[in-house]
Amino acid sequence: MSAALSRTALWRRGERLWQTIRHVPPGQLLRRAELLARYRLMDLLPSQAAAAPPALAPVLPQPLFPPRSDRLRAVPGGFRLLLPWGERAFSLPVAWTPATDAATARADANNLHFMEFLPSADDTLLTALIDDWIARNPLQTRGAWRFAWRPYNLSLRVVVWMEELARRQDRLDPSFLGRAQASLAQQLRFLERHLETDLRGNHLIKNIRALLWAGAFFVGPEAGRWSALGRRLLRRELAEQVLPDGCQYERSPAYQCQVLEDLLACRAVLPDAAPELDAALARLVHALRLLTHPDGRVAQFNDGGLSMALPPGHLLEAWTRLTGGQPASALGAFALPDGGYFGLKGEDELLVVDCGDLGPSYLPGHGHCDLLAFEWSTGGRRIVVDQGTYQYFADPRRLASRSTSSHNTVSLDGAEQSDIYGAFRCGRRARPELRAFEPHGHGFRFVGSHDGFTRLPDQPRHVRTIEAAPGRLVIRDRIEGGGAHDARARLLLHPGCTVEVAGREALIRSGPVAVRLAASAPIAVEPAEWYPDIYVAEPTLRLVLPVAPGEQGLELRLERVDAARGRPMLAEATMPDPVLAGEQHR
């Protein structure tokens, strides 16, 4: 590499780093450095005698949600962990640290340390698993912070332990309860010193849930301190994380489910909850209902998976039971302007368009390049879907999950709307522009744009207009700014769909539902993948259409038609084979 090229590369790397960190408050950067130093020194510090744990509360808080029985299956000598991406076999004693650094091995290990599978275990296996974790994961273990003592993992685990000990208290051996009680105290003391205030977001909400549960599970000065700290942090985070329109500020419907679940669990142990918590819960519930498809699962914008949290219906039932609230009607055109989602909700219909920020300025890691993308269910069936998220470790599939060309929007010259890189990094960010949202009758008219491509020659801008009514969409794309660009619009079909294409027309079928597509440009079909959950890839099809320059642009008309009368146009497109041999498909 020449000196000039080397200087250019260094300049670009420096500019990308600056664009990444300039949005992060200095206090959070200092906290990140502090925590990294603490983690690296953990195994070098001398172990200290553990203080006696605080006493248990006279009446232990009971779990808000019923136990799940679908996460673990006992087998002779061990158990099988049932994960969305397949079963994993483990024996006792458990190998808590992964043998390899492969992404799936690390994901398996994280799920082991979450221990969210404990409700599926009987008393004997639960006792054995908790005792094994205590014996084999001392704080001074080298690298313990990566899995066992990672604050996120710890926050999930201690809540599960407290819930299950409360549920089974009368049946468990007192000596085991004492060991678990002592370990819980040690873990909570660690969490108190290592709260994820460097990152915040859904991670800090899980930390808060653990603190508040600890304050209700134990009594004494420590329990009071944990509860007070949790309440103080909760008040601050509610003010920032729950937007006025009810979207959680990371702008991922899947993480909205997780945060709502965590906040409901906080509400369950705060009988004197502050009014701001109930108000935030009501807003979260309202937005979540608008972002839920007729199949009962959420839209897939940004990171997340369809089964990473409880289904929206379960969360709504728990909210009603806890607060006595009753949801308002969620039918018709809707706008969630703070989260950046606009759409149309019907009994068997959901259209959602994304015209919002990538995420909080200091926390864009779960954001995707999906500005002006949309999802559409009609007739109760998902037709046009977001690709979803395959994994959280940096590799080509992670990049593809977040890239512009993987979403139902327009790409230009292979460029990205925002400068995504690594697993969770983002440098320069595209800014959305809502030009119009006009509800009318049973539908709406939407016009949006963004500046993600303005660094290209001629500073082009993608402008998308959508006119929507139940069972019908008209989409017009154009590129402002002139110049010659390779502009392409893409539509990812749900794996349950088949498609017949003839030139500029297509017939899409999903079970009893048929949708006719008429376009102003030829329609190409390419193999693709849909990721309903982490590490789950289902083969499907993507439609690709060129966008003409200038005002000509591209027009798409999608309309649900009578499936019985839909005449075949061409032989059905053949579904592609799974991309990965041996991949688990649902």
Model confidence pLDDT, tens digit, residues 80-115: 999 999 999 999 999 999 988 888 899 999 999 999
Please say if the pLDDT value at position 5 is more than 60: no
Cα separation, 21 vs 207, whole angstroms: 24
Joined tokens for residue 582: 């041996």
pLDDT of 574 higher than 70: no
CATH second-level architecture of 341-561? Distorted Sandwich (2.70)
What CA–CA distance (Å, rounded) separates 519 from 363? 38
62-79 per-position pLDDT tens digit? 999 998 888 999 999 999
Q: What DSSP element (H or E) covers 109?
A: helix 103-114
What's the whole-number average pLDDT of the chain? 92
What's the pLDDT score for residue 580?
Answer: 26
DSSP letter at 253 equals H
pLDDT at 2: 63
Residue-level pLDDT at 566: 54
The pLDDT, as a whole number, for residue 46 is 65
Handedness of CA 195, 196, 197, 201 (dihedral sign): negative
ω into 93 cis (within 30 of 0) = yes
Average pLDDT value for residue range 558-583: 51
Task: For residue range 252-265, list pLDDT tens digits in order.
Answer: 999 999 999 999 99
Whole-number pLDDT of residue 127: 98
Residue 575, pLDDT above cutoff 50: no
In Å, how far are 233, 311, 423, 468, 493 from 297, measured between CA atoms?
Answer: 30, 6, 25, 22, 17
pLDDT-derived band at 476, boundaries 50, 70, 90: very high
Domain layout of the chain by residue ranges: 23-238, 341-561
Residue 584 reports pLDDT greater than 50: no
User: So what's the pLDDT on residue 11?
Assistant: 82
**Could you tell me the CA-to-CA distances from 370 to 237, 378, 416 in Å, in that order?**
26, 21, 10
**Residue-wise pLDDT tens digits, 153-180:** 999 999 999 999 999 999 999 999 999 9
Residue 565 has what pLDDT? 59
pLDDT tens column, 321-351: 999 998 888 899 999 999 999 999 999 999 9
Q: Is residue 263 within 8 Å of residue 248, measured between CB atoms? A: no
Q: What is the pLDDT of residue 116?
A: 96
For the stretch 428-451, pLDDT in tens is: 999 999 999 999 988 999 999 999
494-534, pLDDT tens digit by residue? 999 999 999 999 999 999 999 999 999 999 999 999 999 99
What H or E segment, with its residue span, contains residue 553?
A: strand 550-561
**What pLDDT score was predicted for residue 567?**
52
**CA 165 to CA 163: how far, in whole Å?**
6
Whether the CB-CB separation of 528 and 492 falls below 8 Å is answered with yes
Q: Is 383 exposed, middle or buried (0-12, 13-18, 19+ CB in 10 A)?
A: buried
Residue 352 DSSP label? E
pLDDT at 296 over 70: yes
